């Protein structure tokens, strides 16, 4: 018996040694070659890309022989494995490391591949803007390369497909279809059945969203055909889920069940949480249609658990919506409402980001077209002038003379207009700065500082006295400094609020948020432009209310304009006007009127100002919002 066990052990050891040898020897030999072509490396290692341990071995050997491209290739494949198992942050880190190394070593192929890999991960996470940026950069680099090998063409197709999917989530169906069809042409050219399957699947998604369900089925069946040719279990799983969804929408329950009956077990084999949660979602929906509410909820709650953990927002939206419908059918209206609110919240979070990105893309497209048109016009004008100058020097002299005359007339007109405007603005600003010297504010601020001195709270007294002197200095010097940077203006506003807050026992909760892409030092605005609106919010919004007092200022950018929002959670405009009549004061009206005149004089109809009443779900006033939109650059006349 012992001899037999020893024989089996030796046999296994010899087999294991031979297997390791058959794996190591070609890897070492290939690593020594220091191959740099992504395509050749992919052909050699494609059978090892699903084994994380083998990839680690390849990376170690590549480092040993300084074979950088083989190391980067293996890391990218590790990133794919992590992405497919929903370890998105780990995948992003690996891809970022590869991208950095590729740039450093000027390897364009690997840079393009890494950019696309990052884009795919961010698309899985519904990070629309980041996904678009990475895919757009990859597409730009790939299309600008003069000699396009199969790797470059394949990545153009990947970029087009991913950007098409982003357009699809934005419901821009024509733009999405254009990208998918462009990708299809490339995939046919290089004979990539996987790419054909993916893009036909995506085109089916367009038809499904447009509710052209028969066309969607045709596209999904075509995708399934290609997935069966390459025997892709994941591809077939995606198609079964898509076909099941369409049949559920058509209320063809038996057909839907035929395709969805095994999707959960199939998805669990992939260990990909994206496909697992999608399968639970569709099977839950199927059971809703069959009125198996308990089973439906069981599957949907599993879906939500995974989607929350992996931040799969798009899947969460559908899961919450279906759960809300189930609870409503069972008469659990409160629970149904809770799920519906969750559905609305997640949906709004995604849609807000998508809309912002879409607007930015439209602006970019418009500005590009506009610049091209201007360049074309200038080129035509230049050619015309050149032809005329060839004819005679006299024409040249006349043109110059007329041009100087026109410029002189325009300059005189503009100068006169500017002087008139400046005079008007100066008068307004003088009135405004007199209005800023509110004796009540000065008296209250000094009294508050005095109280700190009496209480022997020297540090506070010195702190607020410094703030008061700085604010007072700005008000007095504002006559000479007609404009300041937005950064300076916001600092002064913060000082003003801190001083006013003393009167409220520091009960006002103030917050200031600024978008990262805004350069506050580059934006000029009239000095103390925002102070009247902040003062109005404090004294007529928050002063008369009980409970928690909040004042928020937000600075953002939209459509090449700076948007400044001042919001309070006070008593609202209607109640404030009633109290104002009782007090018989019009100081705030005078201050706001002067501010509007300053805005008009400074920005000359290029600004917008909105005052918005805020109400809660019961229709009760819950604050006021001032929204001021100004150009990024000064347009002062």
Query: Residue 610: what pLDDT?
Result: 92
Q: What is the mean pLDDT of the chain?
A: 81
Is pLDDT at 1 greater than 80 in this prediction? no
| Res 77 pLDDT > 50 | yes
What is the gyration radius of the CA atoms in the chain, in angstroms?
A: 34
Asked whether residue 436 carries a pLDDT value surpassing 90, the answer given is no
- The reported pLDDT for the residue numbered 15 is 39
Max mean pLDDT range (308-322, 439-453, 590-604): 308-322
Q: Which of 155-169, 412-426, 449-463 has the lowest mean pLDDT?
A: 412-426
The pLDDT value recorded for residue 413 is 72
347-374 pLDDT, tens per residue? 777 666 555 455 356 446 545 654 665 5
User: pLDDT at residue 296 above 60?
Assistant: yes
> Which tens digits make up the pLDDT trace of 279-295?
999 999 999 999 999 99
**Helix residue ranges, H only, 392-438:** 393-436
Task: Measure Cα distances from 617 to 348, 365, 537, 541, 621 in Å.
Answer: 17, 39, 22, 19, 10
pLDDT tens profile 113-135 = 999 999 999 988 878 888 888 99
Between these two residues, 406 and 613, which has the higher pLDDT value? 613
Spatial CB neighbours of 329, under 8 Å, sequence gap ≥ 6 = 293
Out of 4-8, 26-30, 197-201, 280-284, pick the least confident.
4-8
**Distance (Å, rounded) from C-alpha 279 to C-alpha 299?**
9
pTM over the 0.75 mark = no
Concatenating the DSSP letter of every residue in 130-182 gives HHHHHHHHHHHHHHH-SS--HHHHHHHHHHHHHHHHHHHHTT-HHHHHHHHHH
- Residues 611, 624: contact at Cβ < 8 Å? yes
CATH architecture group of domain 459-631: 2-Layer Sandwich (3.30)
Average pLDDT for 535-550: 85
Quickly state the pLDDT bin for 268 (edges 50, 70, 90).
very high
CA separation for the pair 117, 83 (Å, rounded): 9
Whether the Cβ atoms of residue 131 and residue 161 lie closer than 8 Å to each other:
no
The mean pLDDT value for 414-421 works out to: 65
Question: In the predicted model, is pLDDT for residue 56 greater than 70?
Answer: yes
As a whole number, mean pLDDT of residues 539-555 equals 88
pLDDT at 366: 40
d(CA 21, CA 17): 6
Cβ atoms of 194 and 235 within 8 Å: the answer is yes
pLDDT surpasses 70 at 499: yes
Summarize pLDDT for 180-229 with one digit per residue, the tens. Answer: 999 999 999 989 999 999 999 999 999 998 999 999 999 999 999 999 99
* pLDDT for 161 beyond 60: yes
Contact between residue 67 and residue 31 where contact means Cβ atoms under 8 Å apart: yes
Residue 10 has pLDDT above 50, yes or no: no
Query: How far is residue 312 from each of residues 153, 277, 342, 389, measured CA to CA in Å?
Result: 30, 9, 14, 65
Average pLDDT for residues 398-404, to the nearest whole number?
Answer: 77
> 470 in helix, strand or coil?
helix
pLDDT band at residue 18, thresholds of 50, 70 and 90?
Answer: very low
**What is the residue extent of each domain of the chain?**
459-631
pLDDT of residue 362: 42
């Amino acid at each position: 018996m012992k001899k037999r066990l020893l024989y089996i052990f030796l046999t296994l050891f010899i087999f294991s040694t031979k297997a390791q040898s058959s794996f190591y020897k070609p890897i070492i030999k290939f690593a020594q070659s220091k191959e740099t072509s992504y395509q050749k490396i992919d052909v050699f290692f494609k059978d090892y890309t699903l084994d994380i341990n083998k990839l680690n071995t390849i990376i170690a050997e590549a480092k040993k022989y300084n074979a950088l491209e083989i190391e980067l290739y293996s890391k990218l494949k590790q990133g794919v494995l992590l992405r497919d198992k929903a370890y998105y942050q780990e995948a992003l880190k690996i891809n970022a490391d590869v991208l950095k190394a590729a740039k450093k070593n000027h390897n364009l192929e690997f840079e393009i591949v890494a950019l696309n890999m990052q884009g795919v991960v961010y698309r899985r996470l519904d990070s629309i803007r980041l996904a678009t940026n990475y895919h757009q950069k990859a597409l730009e680099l790939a299309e600008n390369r003069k000699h396009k090998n199969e790797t470059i063409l394949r990545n153009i197709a990947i970029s087009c497909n991913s950007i098409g999917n982003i357009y699809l989530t934005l419901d821009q169906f024509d733009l999405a279809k254009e990208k998918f069809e462009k990708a299809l042409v490339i995939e046919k050219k290089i004979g990539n059945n996987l790419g054909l399957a993916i893009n036909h699947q995506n085109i089916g998604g367009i038809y499904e969203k447009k509710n052209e369900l028969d066309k969607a089925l045709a596209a999904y069946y075509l995708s399934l055909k290609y997935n069966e040719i390459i025997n892709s279990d994941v591809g077939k799983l995606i198609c079964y889920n898509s076909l099941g969804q369409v049949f559920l929408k058509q209320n063809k329950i038996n057909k839907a069940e035929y395709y969805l009956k095994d999707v959960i077990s199939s998805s669990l084999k992939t260990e990909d949480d994206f496909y697992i949660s999608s399968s639970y979602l569709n099977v839950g929906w199927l059971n809703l249609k069959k009125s198996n509410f308990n089973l439906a909820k069981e599957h949907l709650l599993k879906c939500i658990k995974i989607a929350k953990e992996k931040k799969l927002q798009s899947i969460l939206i559908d899961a919450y919506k279906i759960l809300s419908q189930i609870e409503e059918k069972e008469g659990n209206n409160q629970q149904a409402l809770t799920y519906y609110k969750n559905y609305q919240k997640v949906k709004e979070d995604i849609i807000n980001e998508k809309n912002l990105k879409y607007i930015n893309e439209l602006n970019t497209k418009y500005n590009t077209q506009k610049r091209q048109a201007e360049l074309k016009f200038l080129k035509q004008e230049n050619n015309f002038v050149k032809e005329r100058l060839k004819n005679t020097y006299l024409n040249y002299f006349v043109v110059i003379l007329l041009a100087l005359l026109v410029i002189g007339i325009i300059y005189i007109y503009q100068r006169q207009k500017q002087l008139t405007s400046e005079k008007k603005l100066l008068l307004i600003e003088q009135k405004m700065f007199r209005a800023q010297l509110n004796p009540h504010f000065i008296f209250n601020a000094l009294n508050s500082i005095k109280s700190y001195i009496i209480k022997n709270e020297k540090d506070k007294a010195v702190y607020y006295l410094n703030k008061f002197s700085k604010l007072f200095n700005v008000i007095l010097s504002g006559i000479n400094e007609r404009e300041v940077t937005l950064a300076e203006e916001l600092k002064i506003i913060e000082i003003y609020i801190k001083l006013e807050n003393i009167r409220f026992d520091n009960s006002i909760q103030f917050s200031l948020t600024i978008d990262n892409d805004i350069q506050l030092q580059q934006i000029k605005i009239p000095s103390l432009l925002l102070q009247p609106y902040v003062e109005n919010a404090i004294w007529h919004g928050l002063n008369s209310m009980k409970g928690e007092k909040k004042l928020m200022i937000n600075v953002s950018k939209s459509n090449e304009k700076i948007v400044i929002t001042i919001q309070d959670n006070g008593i609202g405009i209607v109640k404030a006007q009633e109290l104002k009549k009782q007090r018989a004061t019009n100081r705030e009206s005078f201050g706001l009127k002067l501010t509007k005149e300053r805005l008009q004089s400074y920005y000359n109809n290029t600004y917008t100002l909105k005052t918005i009443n805020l109400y809660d779900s019961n229709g009760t006033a819950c604050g006021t919002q001032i929204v001021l939109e100004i150009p990024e650059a000064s347009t002062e006349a």
